[in-house]
């Protein structure tokens, strides 16, 4: 049995209500989740979140989710990526509400240069992009927040790798333009 088959089996058993399968799945995917969380937190300043905090919060949200939908590793990582994005946005908003300096994150580790964007601005831009094309937002979440490869995204989204790559470039260009030229209030 390959690692991906074992992951799919553990997911199915977790969905069937088996908590030991859930625990084994989290243990199996923890190193990958830790890499994703560390990459997301690397661009933050003055954050009280640790890698473990981000992973634990994402896993807790997944556990509370009414319908755990992922059927394989790539789907699970995509869902965890979305949860991590939501946690980071919630954390930044809470800091901003408390009148503290809020967190800024780098849009994408694959973008040339040292550009950093405010997480709230990024979230607002993703909401606007979602109104245009929800699938582009999903690709950004999987690629940026989940660190997923083009191949993994193609698997999850049932698109060709060429299409995912093209749509990734479109989404990234749109976001860079919107974040560089914000709409005034």
pLDDT band of residue 172 (cuts 50, 70, 90) is confident
**Could you read off the pLDDT of 85-131 as tens digits, one per residue?**
888 888 877 776 655 454 444 444 444 444 566 777 788 888 888 88
Residue 142 belongs to domain spanning: 3-180
- Name residues whose C-beta falls within 8 Å of residue 32's C-beta, 6 or more positions apart in sequence: 77
Q: What is the mean pLDDT of residues 49-67?
A: 80
User: How large is the angle between the packed helices 73-97 and 51-64, nearest 10 degrees?
Assistant: 110
Non-local (6+) Cβ contacts of 116 within 8 A are 43, 104, 105, 106, 107
Cα 27 vs. chain centroid, distance in angstroms?
Answer: 19
Q: Is residue 18 part of a domain?
A: yes
Asked whether residue 185 is assigned to any structural domain, the reply reads no
> Does residue 100 lie within any of the structural domains?
yes
Total domain count, the chain: 1
At 122-158, the pLDDT tens digits run: 888 888 888 889 888 888 888 877 778 889 889 888 8
* 153 lies in some domain: yes
């Amino acid at each position: 049995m390959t690692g991906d088959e074992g992951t799919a089996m553990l997911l199915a058993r977790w969905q069937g209500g088996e908590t030991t399968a859930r625990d084994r799945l989290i243990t199996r995917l923890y190193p990958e989740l830790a890499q994703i969380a560390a990459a997301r937190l690397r661009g933050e300043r003055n954050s009280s979140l640790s890698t473990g905090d981000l992973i634990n919060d994402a896993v807790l949200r997944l556990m509370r989710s009414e319908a755990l939908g992922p059927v394989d590793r790539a789907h699970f990582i995509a869902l965890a990526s979305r949860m991590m994005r939501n946690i980071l946005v919630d954390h930044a908003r809470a800091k901003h509400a408390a009148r503290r300096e809020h967190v800024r994150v780098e849009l994408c580790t694959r973008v040339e240069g040292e550009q950093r964007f405010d997480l709230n601005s990024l979230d607002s831009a993703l909401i606007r992009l979602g109104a245009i094309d929800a699938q582009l937002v999903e690709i950004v979440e999987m690629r940026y927040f989940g660190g997923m490869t083009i191949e993994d995204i193609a698997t999850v989204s049932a698109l060709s790798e060429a299409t995912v790559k093209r749509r990734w470039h479109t989404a990234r260009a749109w976001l860079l333009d919107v974040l560089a030229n914000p709409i005034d209030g």
